[in-house]
Structure 1
Amino acid sequence: MESITPAELSALDVAGSIIDVREVDEVAGMRIAGSVNIPMSAFMDRIQEVPLEETVYILCAVGGRSAQVTTYLDQRGYDVVNVDGGIIGWERAGLAVEHGPAAPAADA
């Protein structure tokens, strides 16, 4: 399984390619701007939202759930990278996070 640190990820231009697998209430507290929330509990119902034709970066709180999802997707041919340390590592690295409810999706 390929992994990346929050600092390495922040240096890339990957807007819209970060999938946060934390639950909705967790994401409401803190998230990376532009990340897409597909909770692990709903992942199988929403797997079609994961693009096959580009690299996606899977994120959770500290890296456990994202590692499980990354392994699952990798075994099915997706180009995926686990974010070691998750959103907690992202914040500890001093990288920008958003707090509070996310803005509604444009198609909502």
Structure 2
Amino acid sequence: MSSRTSLHLFCFAICLSLATANAQEHSNDSLETVKKNVADQKAVLVDVREKAEWDKGHVSDAVFLPLSDLRNGTVTEDQLKKLPKDRIVYTHCAVGKRSLQAAKVLAERGYEVRPLKQGYNNLIEAGFQGSKEK
């Protein structure tokens, strides 16, 4: 193997390991742990679904921060004030995919984010208080 090929393989391995290290995964925290951390004010639950979904029902203590706002940079300072950096941020959506995407954006802003794989319906079934108030 030439030294040039070795260098390319080495660079590829470094890039792959960095990409893997930065890849966001769903949290292993149980919903009971999430509920306790939110109740103890150690964490904030963030709903990253879109407004129409939120309006149909949401967890009453959740912060509403749609993924579309995070993606296009229209998040306001007032929205971010609801996310203290000294607390864990649990993101949730309908089935976990947007939760991962939002977690990546928030982690880049310096938050400790733990995206939930469980969606809104799972949270309600686990005993989180629901609300339809806007």
TM-score by shorter chain over 0.5: yes
Over aligned residue pairs, what C-alpha RMSD do you find? 2.3
What are the ranges of 5 or more consecutive residues in structure 2 without an aligned counterpart?
Answer: 1-23
2:89 maps to: 56
The answer as to whether partners of 1:56 and 1:80 remain within 8 angstroms in 2 is: yes
Counting helix residues as a fraction of each chain, which structure ranks higher?
2
The answer as to whether partners of 2:91 and 2:113 remain within 8 angstroms in 1 is: yes
Rg bigger for which structure? 2
User: Once the 2 structures are TM-superposed, how far is the Cα of residue 61 of structure 1 from its aligned partner?
Assistant: 1.1
Moved over 4 A (4+): none
Matched length: 101
1:106 maps to: none
> Judging changes above 3 Å, is the alpha-carbon distance between structure 1 residues 96 and 52 closer, same or farther for their aligned structure 2 residues?
closer
TM-score, normalised via structure 1 length: 0.75
1:79 maps to: 112
1:25-36 to structure 2, matched below 5 A, reads: 25-36=52-63
2:99 maps to: 66
- Paired-residue identity, %: 27
Give the counterpart of 2:132 among 97, 100, 103.
Answer: 100
Q: Which structure's relative contact order is higher, taking Cα pairs within 8 Å and 6+ residues apart? A: 1
Within 2, Cα distance between the matches of 1:70 and 1:57? 8
